[in-house]
Amino acid sequence: MKTKNFLWLFVSIFLLTIPSAQAIASDGEMEIELLEVSNFIQGDDPFSNPEQEGNVPPHPNDFHATIAGSTLSITSGTQCGQLIVRNSAGAQVLNRQFVGGTVEQLPTGSYSLEIQSGSLTLVGMFDAQ
């Protein structure tokens, strides 16, 4: 009987702690999915090898974007880029050049971001809390 009561108490305490654990997890850093926007200019050779040309362009996985509450972080190793952030109404709230990365504070809301580096353009959407 004591084992049953102890087990019931343990399960009850565990169930009571789930909402607080979820609240803590929701405050953590979340990766923003970045999608590459591709546009071929007539005359470009999509099968060319940039290394043979002596010019190594940035790659999509060189860039990472995360949001933690209202803190937006962009990292890119040593790549330079242009960060543009727009609010849900489409108004530009941030337009900044960076090298290696940047950290920005944003008001609560829904946003889209655009990272431009050379001929590479990445876009993503996120919510700041």
pLDDT digits (tens, 9 = 90+) for 58-111: 676 789 999 999 999 999 877 889 999 999 999 999 999 999 999 999 999 999
pTM score of the predicted model:
0.66
Q: What is the mean pLDDT of the chain?
A: 78
- Provide the CATH number for the domain formed by 60-129 in this structure: 2.60.40.3080
Residue 42: pLDDT band with limits 50, 70, 90: very low
Burial label, 111 (beta-carbon count in 10 A; 0-12, 13-18, 19+): buried
Helix (H) / strand (E) containing 5:
helix 2-26
Identify the pLDDT of residue 128. 96
